Structure 1
């Protein structure tokens, strides 16, 4: 098979993301993999996993909890202890030595947490005391969810600062920036959605109240590490994790209007079945837009390239193909298909199988950098 490089593919053109030059427009999307230890410290497997995928224009890490209270899974990594910072420093060093760039995704579980998945066995906190019905994954199997406790005003304010402090820790650990997880049913999304935010104080009620937490987190994080190091991921209208948003448009237009003046590094949005989230973002966001073909919709090489070629987005996030193809970008350049995931049951186990043992067909190439168009 020919290995002629296809550098005319729009995915392979370079992009200036603030102070960072990306050699291509592929962003490795954050994906939960649960290979940290029970103290949330990354180990050797995670060093290998991320270094293998350094060909991406930008890696966004799996979700990292900013606090004990924010943890969703027992083996989810954190950024709130020095041991965790040191573990992540090994990861970022390996990625940089392999020629890559990496942001840390800061992810607070909110109502998605469970006492069995926290070292302090605490009850999760959320905007309101609204539980989920889906079973929760623990190391001992699936268990019934618990109803969260509504956060006090003091806890809300402290959680804003927890995000900023985690961003500072990420920079100390060598990350090039951070992404705030405001999507897919996690805490920021819970403040935005209809069914999970029943508050009547300044963090609830009307649209201005519901977007306040997201805006304050973004402002505090930008103040902590610089706005050009901060991205945010949103999923308007996404029903994942039992979220309900009857009319996302006014909420997210107001949110983007409040976030745009901050000068954040990027907005990361995925289309959903019942709401044109990506096209809405293109019209109402004045900065770099990272797009995806959609939650629960297969990403193809052709579909990803079309998002760039059609001007619908500036960068494209690619998730599941990166599980079984450490060399996603190299395969695009050389005209090779992406291999399917062979064993889905190994996504969330603690070992190397299904994690670092997928073959990298091609070696890294410095000439995968295309000139800016």
Structure 2
């Protein structure tokens, strides 16, 4: 095992800057996911770590060794790619033992090591099989075993599960997590799938436009996003545009697309009257009930426990398998919430409802940066 340090790492392709002054530390034995949208620079970062790309500027350290200028074969890393790239004319065990053969390990020793890692990935019974006879998930396990066989200090994984179907991908996520725990090797895993990152990672580094936006444990980056980009990228949420009307103790009164002004927390954030805001109403934090027979109350209501409510109308109902998503029109915008099929309240299109929330659950952003959350 070894730690990884990327210091002011930059990669330019002509006028295009793919990675821009990136700094990142990965602890010894950690499983870190580089998470971000396509084109954010995560695969380029991984390739520079593995020596497949040369940085324009900055440094790469594995442990205490600066390896910035070292070729891939001089670094104690191994990479698993999206494509399995197995040798079709070699058996499974010959594929797994290939790297050891290149390292000059004797036949008996390399076959023993290959069998050991095949057992780790639960492919021991397929040691003599033809790779062409394996399923996609089995091929991916063989590719993983081949990389693990050489016992790298750092294992690099470039979206290795992206070619698998949903059920197999989810199964492999759990198995990959267990494999990491068993082999205790430092993993750096690239993905664009936030669910995959949440399942696998000890830590997540969220990348945007060639740099790291935030690093932290999965729950930390979800509960406390530092920017609007992180909040939008990590799961679904309702984003509502607003504008500061006045300041109050612990927050502001903001005019919203709901056609109502509401109180929102800013927790000391530097905002003033007239400043634009974006307010995140996460669907899991919304409480929705049927409107009272007399029509309820359409204006924002703040009680002593600072719960706020607005009346709206159900406009769409989308069945999503195990859950149902409901859209509610409020003023000039709409929000959505979800219920599990077993718990759903059978709201119907056109039905008036009351949407309630606790301001302590709101996330508030100004100019893309978080300026507050109730209770924080």
- Same fold by TM-score greater than 0.5: no
Higher RCO by CA contacts (8 Å cutoff, separation 6 or greater): 1
- Asked which structure has the greater CA Rg, the reply is 2
Normalised by the length of structure 2, the TM-score is 0.32
TM-score by length of 1: 0.33
